[in-house]
Amino acid sequence: MLASILLSRKGNNVTLLEQNEKLGKKLFITGKGRCNFTNVCARTEFLENVVTNPKFLYSAFEELSPEDTLKLFESWGLSAKIERGKRAFPSSDRSSDVIDMLKKKMTDCHVKVRLNARVTGILIEDGRAAGVSFSENGKEEEMRSDRVIIATGGESYPSTGSTGDGYRFAEDAGLKVTGLLPSLVSIECEEDYCATMQGLSLKNVELHVHDGKKEVFHEFGEMMFTHYGVTGPVVLTASAVIGPLIGKKPLSAYIDLKPAVTPEMLDTRLIRLFDANPNKDVKNVIHELYPAKLAPVIPGVACLNPEKKIHDVTRADREAIISATKHLPLTFKCLRGFDEAVVTKGGVSVKEIDPKTMECKKIKGLYFIGEVLDLDALTGGFNLQIAWSTAAAAASAPEEEPEETAKD
Ligand SMILES: Cc1cc2nc3c(=O)[nH]c(=O)nc-3n(C[C@H](O)[C@H](O)[C@H](O)COP(=O)(O)OP(=O)(O)OC[C@H]3O[C@@H](n4cnc5c(N)ncnc54)[C@H](O)[C@@H]3O)c2cc1C
């Protein structure tokens, strides 16, 4: 949508083909319906939040940076606000404002839109893009054009229209597509206690992941247990970083349930608590230290009989409780699927693409922008900015000189 506006403004005749019955279906659900459309943090911080191929974005950011995007959208009538962590949202908290702004601008710029029009293939003639074949309401057609811009998104949330077609177009054109994985997604775990604690949300915990040799991830924040494993902000971030390692490396993960408390401090608390309740069972005392769904799990992880009398609890038992608290183990089984993932990791290899213009190096006139590229970032408005900046880069590509016509 943004690329179509920017290209029309340069005097191009642009048609946007959308397979859905309306525009911006995925945009509508972004940011829990509020559309966190960019992040105006410093450039270096922004790029630290791009997990895959951040350097590829340097030129695209020259064309349209997060600040440029904010100013551009405001100049197009969007009222915006900046929240915690420099996240930008429409002031109304309605993603539909972003969609309506883009739609209005498309109308003003005379972009032609064909809905229910699914592109089925790219026409390539003499090594350059010559148009597309598409099916509109079941009728097969061809459309010839000087340039073709593929902005089909990734494979996540296919119900919004991002069904992975762009990857097939790229492969048909002989381009490399790197391995695809769901990212910013929940993780399934082996431990039965995840299901026992289903619905329990923990704030201020720390997730650590080791690959057998070194720590490959740690982050402080919020997470939640589900019937299959774990989810929540810290887990989604972990999925983006260590997702490709699951099943490939012997990962061991654990949650530090009380990162602000040292083992010694915890031991002091336990001693105080146990001294005050010598004749009670472990299970009837321990709940004072943990949320209700977590308390019954701790003795199990610590291999401690929950019916043991407190006056029988040994120093080794206390150490086991401390270990379970500071190192609650998680064994990652797999990532959840594309239908639940916020973005797709992997995509059209950036080696195939000119970073200044998003044009294919091998096939002139063919461009790839947005999530279909092998670019992905953490949550916070970074992924949409990747889409805006790469769209602006594609629209900035210079017009090709018309071929000389033969004279009589
Ligand atoms: C639940 C959820 C929340 C998110 N929240 C945020 C957020 O707040 N901030 C953020 O930065 N990012 C967020 N993201 C990620 C962000 O939405 C995507 O990275 C971004 O939309 C990618 O833009 P795109 O234009 O490349 O693809 P998309 O937005 O997926 O658009 C692709 C379009 O192409 C159409 N299409 C696909 N194939 C064809 C075909 N063959 N023919 C015709 N049309 C086709 C699709 O129907 C679709 O309309 C979120 C994602 C999800 C799933």
β pairing state of 148-150 and 366-368: parallel
Ligand 1 mean position to 26 CA, how many Å?
A: 5
Ligand 1 atom with minimal separation from the 154 CA: 30
Cα–Cα distances in angstroms (integers) from residue 299 to residues 226, 229, 255, 321, 327, in the given order: 20, 20, 16, 7, 13
Ligand 1 mean position to 369 CA, how many Å?
A: 11
Ligand 1 mean position to 157 CA, how many Å?
A: 8
Out of 291, 318, 336, pick the residue that ends a domain. 336
Cα–Cα distances in angstroms (integers) from residue 237 to residues 135, 190, 254, in the given order: 38, 20, 15
Identify whether residues 21 and 147 lie together within a single domain.
Answer: yes
Ligand 1 mean position to 100 CA, how many Å?
A: 16
Ligand 1 mean position to 154 CA, how many Å?
A: 7
Using CA positions, which residue lies closest to atom 51 of ligand 1? 342
Residues in the chain: 408
Q: To test ligand 1's pocket by mutation, which of 152, 343, 376, 386 has the most ligand atoms within 8 angstroms of CB? A: 152
Out of 308, 336, 364, pick the residue that ends a domain. 336
Ligand 1 atom with minimal separation from the 169 CA: 41
Is 402 a member of any domain? Answer: no
Tell which residue, 10, 12, 344, 2, has the closest CA to residue 178.
Answer: 344
For residue 17 the two structure tokens come to: 């083909």
Is 119 a member of any domain? Answer: yes
Identify whether residues 50 and 137 lie together within a single domain.
Answer: yes
Identify whether residues 35 and 138 lie together within a single domain.
Answer: yes
Q: Which range of residues forms the domain containing residue 269?
A: 186-336
Ligand 1 mean position to 109 CA, how many Å?
A: 22
Is 201 a member of any domain? Answer: yes
Structural domain count, the chain:
2
Identify whether residues 266 and 245 lie together within a single domain.
Answer: yes
Is 408 a member of any domain? Answer: no
Using CA positions, which residue lies closest to atom 35 of ligand 1? 152
Q: To test ligand 1's pocket by mutation, which of 27, 342, 344, 348 has the most ligand atoms within 8 angstroms of CB? A: 342
Q: What is the pLDDT of residue 145?
A: 97
Q: What is the pLDDT of residue 403?
A: 54
What span, in angstroms and rounded, lies between the C-alpha atoms of 267 and 329? 20
What span, in angstroms and rounded, lies between the C-alpha atoms of 369 and 383? 12
**CATH code of the domain in which 197 resides:** 1.10.8.50
Q: Over the range 388-403, which residues count as b (16 or more CB within 10 Å of their CB) and which as e?
A: bbbbbbbbbbeeeeee
Identify whether residues 31 and 136 lie together within a single domain.
Answer: yes
What span, in angstroms and rounded, lies between the C-alpha atoms of 378 and 194? 24
Q: What is the pLDDT of residue 399?
A: 75
Identify whether residues 205 and 250 lie together within a single domain.
Answer: yes
Ligand 1 mean position to 390 CA, how many Å?
A: 14
Is 163 a member of any domain? Answer: yes
For the four alpha carbons of 336, 338, 343 and 347, in that order, the dihedral sign comes to positive
What span, in angstroms and rounded, lies between the C-alpha atoms of 222 and 237? 11
For residue 86 the two structure tokens come to: 């420099």
Identify whether residues 232 and 361 lie together within a single domain.
Answer: no
Tell which residue, 54, 31, 13, has the closest CA to residue 390.
Answer: 54
Identify whether residues 167 and 227 lie together within a single domain.
Answer: no
Ligand 1 atom with minimal separation from the 26 CA: 29
Q: Are 330 and 206 in contact (CB under 8 A)?
A: no
Q: What is the pLDDT along the chain (408 residues), one digit of tens a residue?
A: 999 999 999 999 999 999 999 999 999 999 999 999 999 999 999 999 999 999 999 999 999 999 999 999 999 999 999 999 999 999 999 999 999 999 999 999 999 999 999 999 999 999 999 999 999 988 999 999 999 999 999 999 999 999 999 999 999 999 999 999 999 999 999 999 999 999 999 999 999 999 989 999 999 999 999 999 999 999 999 999 999 999 999 899 999 999 999 999 999 999 999 999 999 999 999 999 999 999 999 999 999 999 999 999 999 999 999 999 999 999 999 999 999 999 999 999 999 999 999 999 999 999 999 999 999 999 999 999 999 999 999 999 887 665 544 443
Identify whether residues 196 and 262 lie together within a single domain.
Answer: yes
**CATH code of the domain in which 139 resides:** 3.50.50.60
Identify whether residues 166 and 241 lie together within a single domain.
Answer: no
CB atoms within 10 A of CB 77: 11
Out of 299, 315, 336, pick the residue that ends a domain. 336
Is 136 a member of any domain? Answer: yes
Identify whether residues 208 and 353 lie together within a single domain.
Answer: no
The set of protein residues with a Cβ atom below 6 angstroms from ligand 1 is 17-20, 25-27, 29-31, 35-36, 118-119, 151-153, 156-157, 161-163, 165, 342-343, 370-372, 381-384, 387
Is 146 a member of any domain? Answer: yes
What span, in angstroms and rounded, lies between the C-alpha atoms of 303 and 106? 64
Is 148 a member of any domain? Answer: yes
Ligand 1 mean position to 329 CA, how many Å?
A: 35
β pairing state of 139-144 and 128-136: antiparallel
Ligand 1 mean position to 151 CA, how many Å?
A: 9
Task: Provide the whole-model pTM.
Answer: 0.95
Ligand 1 atom with minimal separation from the 372 CA: 26
Identify whether residues 190 and 170 lie together within a single domain.
Answer: no
